[in-house]
Amino acid sequence: LLLFHKSLRRWFSVLIHDSNISEEAFQEFLLHLLEKEIIEKSEASSKVQLFAYLRTCSRNFIKKNYKKWSLSDTVSVDGHPEAERTGRGDWLGFSGINPIEEEMQTLFDREALQQAILSLKLRPRTVVQLMLDGYKHSEISEILGLPMGTVASDLNRSREKLHAILRAHGVDL
């Protein structure tokens, strides 16, 4: 579990769409693993089973808490109230406002990329996220239970859509 902790947390954030809520949900997920003694079992099992279990737990969390929270709530980024944005996940590592003017374009590019990825449907967005996490096509196929051709197709279509969205926002590629 410790080997996959960072990837599990990041993928949970992708599925939940909000870093504050996903942290609460991820803690609930880990607690559930401990209570059911799944951690000991998962050490011997593959990471695929762990990711599949995470996906199931995230769906259950969303169903259970759907009316408690809204994705349109605004949150401040890293304590900077001037950097308020909608409460969507910050899984690409957006780290808030950088006061150095040369790096403002980089921050805009990151935010634009993050919003573009979040605009993708769940399956293509998940494929892109897993690819960004360094997984190979075959591993993504196994984790999501999809044929390799579908993974490659989703990734290709996602890249094309992301390029179009970013070009429309004036981001140089």
**CATH number for the domain including 147?**
1.10.10.10
Q: What's the rounded Cα separation, in Å, for the pair 143 and 152? A: 14
Domain span holding position 45: 2-65
pLDDT band at 80 (very low <50, low <70, confident <90, very high): very low
DSSP 120: S
User: Within this chain, do residues 155 and 110 fall inside the same structural domain, yes or no?
Assistant: yes
Of 65, 85, 112, the residue at which a domain comes to its end is 65
Of 46, 65, 84, the residue at which a domain comes to its end is 65
Give per-residue pLDDT as tens, 8-65. 777 777 666 666 667 777 777 777 777 776 655 545 456 667 777 777 777 777 677 6
Q: Mean per-residue pLDDT for 91-114? A: 50
Show the CA angle centred on residue 81, arms to residues 133 and 169, nearest 5°. 55
**Helix, strand, or coil (residue 27):** helix
Domain count, the chain: 2
pTM of the model: 0.46
Statement: residue 158 has pLDDT above 70: yes
- Which helix (H) or strand (E) segment holds residue 76: the answer is strand 74-77
Q: Mean per-residue pLDDT for 2-12? A: 69
User: Within this chain, do residues 61 and 123 fall inside the same structural domain, yes or no?
Assistant: no
- At 40 the pLDDT is 56
Average pLDDT score, the chain: 68
